[in-house]
Amino acid sequence: MVFFEERCKLYSIPLITIPFTDDMKLDIKQFIEESKNADILYLDSPNNPTGFQFLKIDLQKLIKSFDGLIIIDEAYGEFSDYSLSSLVKTQSNLIVVRTLSKSFGMAGLRLGYFVANKKFTDAFLNVLQYPYPLSTITIESGILALEKVNLMENATKIIKIERQRIIETLKKFDTFEVFDSKANFVLFDAHSSYKRVYSALTEQGISIRKLGKIGNHEGCLRVTIGTKEMNSKFLLAIRDLLG
């Protein structure tokens, strides 16, 4: 998302900024209203860095009400509740973008794909992709990864279970405000204690993201869902710190 915003600034493309609500969600009615004068909408759902995913019915309303191009970035889609990729069959203005970077753990491969109607795929193949074709190594690695899709699906199931465990455990501490997530991380607001929590975890070799201010929240931290053992170590450290 940051990369996309930088490119928009470079080419003087206006961006619509919709503030997060207190529970780290977006108001779809306000978004539809603000987007009336836009030509292109780009949404990451689930969102980075909050993990928020629009309700499917809300996105369907947005797609049907908008005349321009809508790009839905589902980089974290495998960890979420649903995908909009099937809608491209009936919605000619929709492109769904996905990647092997997150669920397959292959960010260094820089391999992604999009799902759209033939008009968009033809334009990409004939115009947009040139002069940046995929390398043979990237293609072969992607094929090998997709042949192991069952391993990825089993891993994402475990991540979803562990994600819920982390959310429920963190909510037990009054120090934190924990937000729902449909990605492979959990965002929480530690308020004025966020620097202390971050430093204490770092000293124990536990790495999380110190994000600070997001929306109306001043002390945001984000933990990536790891193995069961890694997650237990994180939660134990939190318990010892706040207990």
Whether residue 131 is preceded by a cis peptide bond, meaning omega within 30 degrees of 0, is yes
Q: DSSP for 142-206, please give it.
A: HHHHHHTHHHHHHHHHHHHHHHHHHHHHHTTSTT-EE---SSSEEEEE-GGGHHHHHHHHHHTT-
Q: Are the C-beta atoms of residues 80 and 74 closer than 8 Å to each other?
A: yes
Query: pTM for the whole thing?
Result: 0.87
pLDDT at 7: 46
**Which stretch of DSSP H or E encloses residue 139?**
helix 136-147
The arithmetic mean of pLDDT across residues 8-17, rounded, is 52
- Last residue of some domain: 147, 174, 205? 147
Provide CB contacts within 8 A for 184, sequence distance 6+. 76, 79, 102, 103, 156, 159, 163, 224, 225
Percent of the chain with pLDDT over 90: 67
Instruction: For residue 228, give the CATH number of its domain.
Output: 3.90.1150.10
> Which tens digits make up the pLDDT trace of 30-70?
888 888 888 889 999 999 999 999 899 989 988 988 889 99
| Nearest one of 163, 201, 193 to 175, comparing CA atoms | 193
Same domain, 142 and 165: no
**Better-scored residue on pLDDT, 126 or 138:** 138
> Which tens digits make up the pLDDT trace of 75-84?
999 999 999 9
User: Number of structural domains, the chain?
Assistant: 2
Sign, CA dihedral 158-238-177-3, equals: negative
* Range from 68-82, 108-122, 190-204, 217-231 carrying the lowest mean pLDDT: 108-122
Same domain, 131 and 225: no
